[in-house]
Amino acid sequence: MAEKKLSFFERYLSVWVLLCIGGGILLGKAVPEAAAALNGFAVYQVSIPIAVCLFFMMYPIMVKIDFAQVLRSARTPKPVLMTLFINWAIKPFTMFAIAYFFLGYLFRGFLPGTEVLANGEEVELWRSYIAGAILLGIAPCTAMVLMWGYLAKGNDGLTLVMVAINSLMMLLLYGPLGGLLLNVNAMPVPWQTMLLSVAIYVAFPLLAGYLTRKWIISRKGIDWFNAKFLHRLTPVSITALLFTLVLLFSFKGEIIIANPLTIVWIAIPLFVQTIVIFVLGYFVLARWLGLSYQDAAPAALIGASNHFEVAIATAVILFGLSSGAALATVVGVLIEVPLMLMLVAVCKRTAHLFGEGDRDESPYMAKPTE
């Protein structure tokens, strides 16, 4: 069997993001009314074009999830419990603390100015950037982590289980945790909009993905679903993401041109947060729990990476496409691929620190039954 690799789109995601930054800035300068008109086509402050794009960012991710595997997690719960502890009890609060230290204290003098949010309230830009970091911190990855775990030669079945469980946990905890930390950051929290964003960008794609998966597998079989259907969906999510980024940067072009180091200041705390969470999960908790390498690698990587699709969607619907919060979530996309590939390499080089375990006996390695 040929070794699975990143697709062309995935391998050069950071390059496409950089091109979208440039394209969006040029669009904003050349035709400023175009993006504004698209974003103005809205219902209850939800931009219809952006909502369509964000749905197609999420749907291809959700359709891959096999919830039947969640039941098997009870047989060896330690890696799943470790991931849940990191994602929901540690990561949101370390992200807030690290972002506030860098953006609200250390770099605050380099982030001047204010902005008017979608609800008409004026806030400092540095608070808006922290809000974007918060939204990243409360969104554990459920997409690219499937690839990170595979490239690290981890337990693919365990990765799928954690993706399914974290998708369900987001339905319960994303809104309350986001509201709590945004309040601490003195950002307005429109609760109805927050719940609507979770429903639109998590619950609806999750339900659509589940029903699609069941329907196709019942008629075509699991092999056709994996080989044909998922292959056709691969570029859809990233294409929708890139189109959204062009619109986003068409709004933020003036700020970026005036403050070109803004992206660097935002990237630094996101980088530090990722390293801190990875070290905690991989080198501390996984070894303390006695996990095998095949379980330790994906369990740590899912905590280190972020679900930037949900974060971008929530930032856009809460604070507007042109908000600093939306920009901060996009910086998360920009650094995600090179940083996670670096951590995959770290995992492979340090695999000798863990026991190999018996992959054949792991309940996560069983083939899904449909």
pLDDT in tens, 55-90: 777 677 678 777 666 666 556 688 888 989 999 999
How confident is the model at residue 107, as a pLDDT?
92
DSSP annotation of 142 reads S
Confidence band of 94 (pLDDT split at 50, 70, 90): very high
Q: In this structure, are residues 357 and 292 in contact, taking their beta carbons and an 8 Å threshold?
A: yes
Does the predicted TM-score (pTM) go above 0.95? no
Paired residues of 115 in beta bridges: 123
pLDDT in tens, 129-187: 999 999 999 888 766 676 677 778 888 777 777 877 877 787 788 878 888 888 877 77
DSSP annotation of 260 reads T
Q: Identify the sign of the CA torsion 353, 357, 363, 366.
A: positive
Q: Residue for token digits 């998708």?
A: 167
Length of the chain: 370
Confidence band of 360 (pLDDT split at 50, 70, 90): very low
Q: In this structure, are residues 196 and 175 in contact, taking their beta carbons and an 8 Å threshold?
A: no
Backbone angles phi, psi at 356, to 5 degrees: -75, -30
How confident is the model at residue 284, as a pLDDT?
95
Q: Give the pair of three-digit tokens for residue 22.
A: 């440039």
List Cβ neighbours of 108 (8 Å cut-off, separation of 6 or more): 126
Q: In this structure, are residues 210 and 67 in contact, taking their beta carbons and an 8 Å threshold?
A: yes
pLDDT in tens, 95-138: 999 999 999 999 998 888 888 776 778 888 899 999 999 999 98
Among 26-40, 231-245, 335-349, which is the least confidently predicted range? 26-40
Q: In this structure, are residues 155 and 95 in contact, taking their beta carbons and an 8 Å threshold?
A: no
The per-residue pLDDT of the chain, averaged, comes to 78
d(CA 184, CA 357): 43
d(CA 53, CA 56): 5
d(CA 280, CA 34): 45
Q: In this structure, are residues 251 and 28 in contact, taking their beta carbons and an 8 Å threshold?
A: yes
**Residue 322's closest CA among 36, 26, 46?**
36
Confidence band of 359 (pLDDT split at 50, 70, 90): very low
**Residue 297's closest CA among 199, 154, 163, 190?**
154
Confidence band of 268 (pLDDT split at 50, 70, 90): very high
Among 32-41, 112-121, 222-231, 352-361, which is the least confidently predicted range? 352-361
DSSP annotation of 221 reads -
How confident is the model at residue 256, as a pLDDT?
65
